[in-house]
A and B are shown apart, each in its own frame.
Chain A
């Protein structure tokens, strides 16, 4: 039993498992991007046949990222991160606290991974002064030993040992935040016609087909699309008013500028023809060629300028037989009642297809704005985790833990300098740092070799 437990712990803490998990997650994600996701049974049958479809269903490959085994991999990665970190932490702490106890002599320097030895024609006292001031600049904790010989010992970058732990903590926090998001967050849509207020959210995701009523409501004053001169859309903008009891707050919601209110976030997501729209029509008298604009609310007769007839919006089609937005009108001119249409894409339809006293052209129609609503406190946990993760990466990769020793000895020609250094990671790059130190010393003290 005990050995089984030991084996299990060994399994959890092995780096092999971590590497396997990373690769497996990479493969799973690849499948998720290459295999069409969330398609109907028929699509899979067509593409992969009977056997393929069965395999896809057994492993939930139609929705890889939400498959139980994918979630399991992520949780397993989290457990593995914790286990590996706990397993290695004592070793790191020992490395962190480790102090060299050996006496510093020639043999000590020869055993270091980097060492250099040279003679300078400078007096011992003068050399001491300039060396101390040189090293003080780079190392905060410079140790000066005067007995038995003048030596210096300095180190920096020890925090780098903890870099991986900081990174892994960041990743764990991000995973935790993601879990919080999916457990306690919700997102949904609100559809508010211009001039109307609403507090109903249609939920998405796990609580699909449910509604949620906000304790306050949002009124859409106006929905605006701005265009560039070349016709590309420049901005989608909803002018909204938050109505919370007595309080009202005005705010513009744009694509990159959501509204935050009471822990909820409202995003500009979509728009469309309002369910019972109000039209703005351009009416042209065929005889006098006079233009004027009329506003036509839904299903209300609006009299025409010479009051000899009316126009009425009967029906609105957000998508009419693949030709886009269309409105059905009832027109009465001199007692003659006719049906006609106005289309967004064909402004001249009425002019060409109906011979009446007036021509009707669609100028504008009222829209609804579609706002995505989200409540997700997990986001802040995730951003916190991200900051820790990036800090950890910088600490592990760009801080090199290094130690340097220097000893000064008398020499007939001035003084003799021994310089030695060690670093745990990045030995090849440390060589350069070390060589820099040698040349710096030689600069301060004019030396031979």
Chain B
């Protein structure tokens, strides 16, 4: 089980990335920031290799399937999405130095997947209902959306902590830019969440004969959708900006977390295969 080993090393690499970004915030040496970015790219590369290896190993076991089928695999992919989206934003928007507030989430999801005794990391065959290509489309879109919401949550925290002026906070992007970044990541996440809900509905229609059955997971993803729809309307129609938006973004992410974990632990339904065993 090489993949599990590699993925548990990746967990520590993310911790390293976080510390490097934090080191940059503390010591303000530009070289640290550069190193942090490159180490993150390297970590994401190793992470990708781990996921691909898991896929290959599942085929060698004769029960080949994309590694997106249980809680462990979804956590691993969630961590991947967070790191990937953060790197894209860093590249696209000229290095907003926010890694110190995003990498902890990548580290925490990986650590939970790798070290929690409740999360089963073995490769297991797929039950009949999960044997569908819609599974891949559904999981990828949903977790990219969750990743985007996690990143926007990290940005919102910086937003709320950062005073308008303050020498410590000067290396972070100005509030106006943070506000725009939060909105940008949320619109990205919202679009993907919509696609994720739709692909889920198409799949449910094929496997269970009903595109919508008010299953707790479905309903909570819809609740999350309603919250972010409210966020977008408050901004576009009512012209809300800044602090209120950052707070709404945090509420939205709380709802994402409940959709992901809360529903698995507290409510039962069709998605019960994502529960820890």
Q: Is the CB of B233 within 8 A of A234?
A: no
The reply on A233 being an interface residue by CB < 8 A is: yes
Q: Is the CB of B234 within 8 A of A397?
A: no
Given contacts A233-B128, A236-B128, A382-B211, 12 further A-B contacts (CB under 8 A): A19-B237, A22-B233, A26-B227, A29-B220, A33-B267, A65-B214, A374-B209, A389-B194, A390-B194, A394-B191, A397-B187, A428-B179
Q: Please measure, in the bound complex, the distance between the C-alpha atom of A258 and the C-alpha atom of B128, giving whole angstroms.
A: 13
Give residues in A with beta carbon < 8 Å to B.
15-16, 18-19, 22-23, 25-26, 29-30, 32-34, 37, 65, 164, 178, 187, 228-230, 232-236, 254-258, 265, 267, 269, 372, 374, 379, 382-383, 386, 389-390, 393-394, 397-398, 426-429, 432
Q: Please measure, in the bound complex, the distance between the C-alpha atom of A393 and the C-alpha atom of B228, giving whole angstroms.
A: 13
Residues from chain A with Cβ under 8 Å of B202 in the complex: 383
Q: Is the CB of B125 within 8 A of A230?
A: yes
Q: Is the CB of A232 within 8 A of B125?
A: yes
Distance of A258 from chain B, by nearest CB (Å)? 6
Q: Decide: A26 near B223, CB < 8 A? Known: A233-B127, A234-B125.
A: yes
Q: Please measure, in the bound complex, the distance between the C-alpha atom of A164 and the C-alpha atom of B237, giving whole angstroms.
A: 11
A22 partner, pick from B208, B220, B226, beta carbons under 8 A: B226
Q: Please measure, in the bound complex, the distance between the C-alpha atom of A125 and the C-alpha atom of B273, giving whole angstroms.
A: 69
The reply on B116 being an interface residue by CB < 8 A is: no
5 closest A-B pairs (Cβ-Cβ)? A428-B180, A255-B128, A15-B237, A26-B226, A267-B209
A256 partner, pick from B129, B211, B226, B237, beta carbons under 8 A: B129
Q: Can you show 28 pairs from A to B with CB atoms below 8 A apart?
A: A15-B238, A19-B237, A22-B230, A26-B223, A26-B227, A29-B219, A29-B223, A29-B226, A33-B267, A34-B267, A232-B127, A233-B127, A234-B128, A236-B128, A254-B128, A255-B207, A256-B129, A258-B206, A267-B207, A374-B209, A379-B205, A386-B198, A389-B194, A390-B198, A428-B179, A429-B184, A432-B93, A432-B94
Q: Is the CB of A32 within 8 A of B238?
A: no
Q: Decide: A228 near B131, CB < 8 A? Known: A258-B209, A386-B198.
A: no
Q: Decide: A235 near B131, CB < 8 A? Known: A33-B216, A393-B191.
A: yes
Residues from chain B with Cβ under 8 Å of A269 in the complex: 209
Closest to B195 in A: A390
Distance of A377 from chain B, by nearest CB (Å)? 13
Q: Please measure, in the bound complex, the distance between the C-alpha atom of A178 and the C-alpha atom of B213, giving whole angstroms.
A: 12
Q: Is the CB of B176 within 8 A of A372?
A: no
Q: Please measure, in the bound complex, the distance between the C-alpha atom of A26 and the C-alpha atom of B255, giving whole angstroms.
A: 10
Q: Is the CB of A267 within 8 A of B208?
A: yes
Q: Please measure, in the bound complex, the distance between the C-alpha atom of A254 and the C-alpha atom of B128, giving whole angstroms.
A: 8
Q: Is the CB of B209 within 8 A of A265?
A: yes
Q: Please measure, in the bound complex, the distance between the C-alpha atom of A33 and the C-alpha atom of B266, giving whole angstroms.
A: 10
Residues from chain B with Cβ under 8 Å of A372 in the complex: 209
Closest to B199 in A: A386
A255 partner, pick from B63, B129, B212, B219, beta carbons under 8 A: B129
- On chain B, the number of residues with a Cβ less than 8 Å from chain A's Cβ atoms is 50
Q: Is the CB of A19 within 8 A of B238?
A: yes
Please report whether the interface of chain A is mostly helix, strand, loop or mixed according to DSSP: helix
Distance of B164 from chain A, by nearest CB (Å)? 16
Q: Is the CB of A19 within 8 A of B234?
A: yes
Residues from chain A with Cβ under 8 Å of B227 in the complex: 26
Q: Please measure, in the bound complex, the distance between the C-alpha atom of A268 and the C-alpha atom of B227, giving whole angstroms.
A: 36
Interface residues of B in 169-210 (CB under 8 A from A): 176-177, 179-180, 184, 187-188, 190-191, 194-195, 198, 201-202, 205-210
Interface residues of B in 136-178 (CB under 8 A from A): 176-177
Residues from chain B with Cβ under 8 Å of A432 in the complex: 93-94
Distance of B136 from chain A, by nearest CB (Å)? 13
Interface residues of B in 101-140 (CB under 8 A from A): 124-125, 127-129, 131-132
The reply on B39 being an interface residue by CB < 8 A is: no
Q: Please measure, in the bound complex, the distance between the C-alpha atom of A432 and the C-alpha atom of B238, giving whole angstroms.
A: 25
Q: Decide: A25 near B209, CB < 8 A? Known: A15-B233, A426-B180, A432-B94.
A: no
Distance of A26 from chain B, by nearest CB (Å)? 4
Residues from chain A with Cβ under 8 Å of B195 in the complex: 390
Q: Decide: A23 near B226, CB < 8 A? Known: A230-B125, A432-B94.
A: yes
Distance of B207 from chain A, by nearest CB (Å)? 5
Q: Please measure, in the bound complex, the distance between the C-alpha atom of A232 and the C-alpha atom of B246, giving whole angstroms.
A: 46
Interface residues of B in 57-78 (CB under 8 A from A): 62-63
Residues from chain B with Cβ under 8 Å of A229 in the complex: 62
Q: Please measure, in the bound complex, the distance between the C-alpha atom of A23 and the C-alpha atom of B226, giving whole angstroms.
A: 7
Q: Please measure, in the bound complex, the distance between the C-alpha atom of A269 and the C-alpha atom of B177, giving whole angstroms.
A: 52
Q: Please measure, in the bound complex, the distance between the C-alpha atom of A350 and the C-alpha atom of B206, giving whole angstroms.
A: 43
Distance of A53 from chain B, by nearest CB (Å)? 21
The reply on B229 being an interface residue by CB < 8 A is: yes
A30 partner, pick from B132, B214, B223, beta carbons under 8 A: B223
Q: Please measure, in the bound complex, the distance between the C-alpha atom of A234 and the C-alpha atom of B128, giving whole angstroms.
A: 6
Q: Decide: A397 near B191, CB < 8 A? Known: A32-B219, A256-B206, A258-B209.
A: yes
Q: Please measure, in the bound complex, the distance between the C-alpha atom of A232 and the C-alpha atom of B214, giving whole angstroms.
A: 27
Q: Please measure, in the bound complex, the distance between the C-alpha atom of A269 and the C-alpha atom of B209, giving whole angstroms.
A: 8
Q: Is the CB of B220 within 8 A of A33?
A: yes
A428 partner, pick from B125, B177, B205, beta carbons under 8 A: B177
Q: Please measure, in the bound complex, the distance between the C-alpha atom of A59 and the C-alpha atom of B220, giving whole angstroms.
A: 21
The reply on B19 being an interface residue by CB < 8 A is: no
Q: Please measure, in the bound complex, the distance between the C-alpha atom of A187 and the C-alpha atom of B127, giving whole angstroms.
A: 25
The reply on B222 being an interface residue by CB < 8 A is: yes
- Chain B 222-245 against A: per-residue CB contact (8 Å), 1 yes, 0 no? 110011011001101110000000
Q: Please measure, in the bound complex, the distance between the C-alpha atom of A265 and the C-alpha atom of B234, giving whole angstroms.
A: 42
A32 partner, pick from B188, B210, B214, B237, beta carbons under 8 A: B214
Q: Decide: A19 near B209, CB < 8 A? Known: A236-B128, A428-B179, A432-B93.
A: no
Closest to B226 in A: A26
Distance of B44 from chain A, by nearest CB (Å)? 24
